[in-house]
């Protein structure tokens, strides 16, 4: 699971618990100007992920780490698809972040409000 906060002009994604090990990341910092938006998308888990490099995938258990799909680099950290959100980025290493959060609606609202300031 990930914890998402906004610190000044930066979106901070903190990967928590053992997910740090599976995702091979513990923290991502993205300038808010590069965040295009966020959506709650439980169905994203069924989407083709591409090539894992590096990361972990155990179907029905966890998808975590960096994936390459159709020229895009996507960061995943999802165990429970119902709690998955997708954060669209521009001019960043990743084009999307697909992460599980405790309260998807609240986190999407937080991101949307922060990016419209």
CATH number of the domain that 46 lies in? Answer: 2.30.29
Please tell me the predicted confidence (pLDDT) of residue 11.
98
Mean model confidence pLDDT for the chain: 94
Q: For the chain, what is the domain count? A: 1
Residue 107: give the domain boundaries: 2-115
pLDDT tens for residues 44-64?
Answer: 888 878 888 888 988 889 999
Residue 110 has pLDDT above 80, yes or no: yes
* Average pLDDT of the segment spanning 65-70: 94
Please tell me the predicted confidence (pLDDT) of residue 27.
97
**Residue 44's closest CA among 104, 114, 110, 106?**
104
């Amino acid at each position: 699971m990930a914890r998402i906060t906004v610190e000044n002009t930066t979106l901070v994604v903190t990967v928590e618990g053992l997910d740090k090990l599976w995702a091979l990341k513990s923290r991502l910092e993205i300038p808010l100007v590069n965040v295009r938006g966020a959506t709650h998308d439980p169905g994203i888990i069924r989407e083709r992920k591409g090539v894992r490099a590096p990361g972990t995938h155990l179907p029905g258990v966890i998808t975590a780490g960096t994936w390459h799909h159709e020229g895009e680099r996507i960061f995943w950290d999802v165990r429970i698809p119902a709690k998955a959100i997708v954060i669209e980025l521009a001019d960043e290493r990743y084009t999307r972040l697909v992460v599980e959060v405790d309260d998807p609606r609240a986190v999407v609202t937080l991101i949307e409000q922060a990016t419209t300031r």
